[in-house]
Structure 1
Amino acid sequence: MDRIDAMRAFVTVVNEGTFTRAADRMEMSPQLVSKYVSQLEQHLGVRLLNRTTRKIHLTEAGASYHQRAQQVLNDIDDMENQLGDLQTQARGLLRISAPVSFAIRHMAPMLTAFQKAHPAVDIDLQLNDRKVDIVEEGFDIALRIGHLKSSSLIAKRIAPVRLVMCASPDYLEQRGTPERPEELRDHRYLRYSYMDVDANEAVHRELRSAGSGMVSNNGDVLVEAAVAGAGIALQPTFIAGSAIREGKLQVILPECEPEPMALYAVYAHRQLLASKVRSFVDFMDGYFGEPPYWDRFE
């Protein structure tokens, strides 16, 4: 016996007044409705209805059970309606993990615009450059930068991520501008801790031989150090682009630019995807432009 179906049959019989009308309402036979009610009485061990050929009468136990059962069924219907709204309307708390520098520089305007379009969605944005476990840590979506390897997660490419080598004009004037990769060995390298070495092996082969100017796990620090004349940085243009556009940094060896990476939106499931996640992924798609606005410095 399905207890919810039996409960719904009993409540419908009481509300409609007869088994026949209850059967019409539930689109099933009167015999099946009667069977559900009988099974419910057997399960509870009490008589809920006294039946005659023309009428039904609630017992004392039946009247008490009817009131509580009606509330339970109303609560179930409300819960299912709310869950349906989550699928059809963007609402609820959206938990996002994003890289630190990208989020600080580029996400606030986008999130503001997204919430204006979807005011029923609240945002919980957590910044972290490590690779979070979306399911274990309770995130709806994670933004990741790199060359994604195959996994069980779903990944949507949002924007290209271009890497450039750059240094300040003052530094290059003092130390000389490298014109060949092997000349990088004579310079100070501002190294990012999490750089994907395999994806940029040709450049790193020379940079590893360069003097170690600084190591950091934050690209903003390295870009600002490069602006101050500390050495050569290999950084994404979403961090270095504004300094390049303002003339504070100069791109070197553009012909040796590493293969572009990409910004991805990563989430756990494609089927039954919550509307808040689907709406956010769709909103990000194309938001930054093609090429993205941070690359418009040449």
Structure 2
Amino acid sequence: MDKLSLLKTFCVVANEGSFTKAAEKLDTSNQLVSKYVAELEKQLDTRLFNRTTRKIHLTEAGQQCLQHANHILESVTDMESQLGLLNTEAKGVLHVSAPVSFSTLHLASALSAFQQTHPHVSINLQLNDRKIDVIDEGFDVAIRAGHLANSSLVAKKITTIKLALCASPAYLEKYGTPQHPAELKPEHYLEYSYVNYDNDKSALIAALKANAQTVTPKLTANNGEVLTNVAKQGEGYVLQPTFIAGEALKNGELVSILDDFVPQPISLYAVYPHRKLISNKLRVFIDFLSSYFESTPYWDK
């Protein structure tokens, strides 16, 4: 019996939580399923399941084995797909992590267009602004904005993201338009809680960091749309990407200030586990996003 068959049987048992259910799904006998799992345990010299009269549970070794087995089987499927041994049409479920505001404002329309082009690819989208672990949390790809740290992950640039420091006309009329970051009122800062500009040496970021050490920002939130909407009400100033603030800037609800001091544009990336072969579904997804948003995205045109 080949090891891939053992791993596939093991994964089905683990996912079904039952030898009997696994046998039904694999259209084989309960005895053969048990034999395959026992053989895999023998080859690995470890117990993969704790068995009781009613249930089975993965051991700690079994949980680690399941992660590795899933990656191995997925890699084999990817290889077969790319080499043309299976239908080369992109298909399957793509597990995607993406930022909340970018997804609601822009990614939703891109996904709709993508699935019209690739109807056999299903998207499982999870929205979160925190930095997720792509591998441990089981994602095929994560959409991230910012400056990425070195890692074992592959990052492909999707588009460029400009930043803008914004305030409403009413706020500027009341407090004046600052000409230098030192003139900003720290108590009026509307701060995005996930922002990280540790590598940015601009005068504006230096001023914001210094102010944060002495004065608590007026509002801190983990959602840029909320902060931008508060800024539109004249309650302070906010540093946001133009994919969030762009519409308000165009219609005059917000005004960009200190343009000469705003940090350099950042990038939007597709981040995925390092593999020599990536699945068709992931490859066409990344290529589609790059084409859809272009080097200069539509909200900056």
TM-score over 0.5 for the pair: yes
SS at match of 1:290: coil
CA contact (8 A) 2:161 2:265 kept: yes
Deviation, 1:256, is: 0.5
Q: Which runs of 5+ in 1 are unaligned?
A: 5-78
Offset at 1:185? 3.4
**Runs of 5+ unmatched residues, structure 2:** 5-75
Once the 2 structures are TM-superposed, how far is the Cα of residue 207 of structure 1 from its aligned partner?
2.4
Summarize the Cα distance change of 1:138–1:231 in structure 2 as closer, same or farther, 3 Å threshold: same
| Counterparts in 2 of 1:271 and 1:86: CA distance versus 1, 3 Å | farther
Quick check: 1:265–1:281 contact (8 Å CA) kept in 2? yes
Cα shift at 1:103: 0.5
Amino acid at match of 1:281: I
Choose which of 196, 200, 221 in structure 2 pairs with 1:216: 221
Question: Does the 8 Å contact 2:79/2:277 carry over to 1?
Answer: no
When residues 137 and 3 of structure 1 are mapped into structure 2, their CA distance, relative to the original with a 3 A threshold, is closer
Q: Do the aligned partners of residues 2 and 282 (structure 1) sit closer, same or farther apart at CA in structure 2, a change above 3 Å counting? A: closer
Larger radius of gyration: 1
Query: Is 1:291 matched with 2:296?
Result: yes
Query: What SS class does the counterpart of residue 184 from structure 2 fall into?
Result: helix
CA shift in 2, pair 1:93/1:230, >3 Å: same
Whether the 8 Å contact between 1:86 and 1:276 is mirrored in structure 2 is: no
Summarize the alignment of residues 30-49 of structure 1 with structure 2, pairs less than 5 Å apart. none
1:196 maps to 196
| Distance of 2:276 and 2:253 partners within structure 1 | 47
1:236 is matched with 241
Please, which of 249, 258, 263 is the counterpart of residue 253 of structure 1? 258
What's the secondary structure of 2:166's corresponding residue? strand
Q: What's the CA shift for 1:187? A: 5.9
1:86 and 1:275 in contact (8 A); partners too: no
Aligned residue in 2 for 1:279: 284
Q: Displacement, 1:205?
A: 2.5
Root-mean-square deviation (CA), in Å?
A: 2.5
Q: TM-score, normalised by structure 2?
A: 0.69
TM (normalized to structure 1)? Answer: 0.69
Name the residue aligned to 2:99. Answer: 99
Contact 1:188 1:231 in 2 (8 A): yes
Distance 1:294 1:181 in 2: 26
| Count of residues in Structure 1 that have an aligned counterpart in Structure 2 | 222
* Equivalent pair of 2:78/2:277 in contact (CA under 8 Å): no
**Distance change (3 Å), C-alpha of 1:2 and 1:132:** closer
Partner Cα distance (1:87, 1:129) in 2: 36
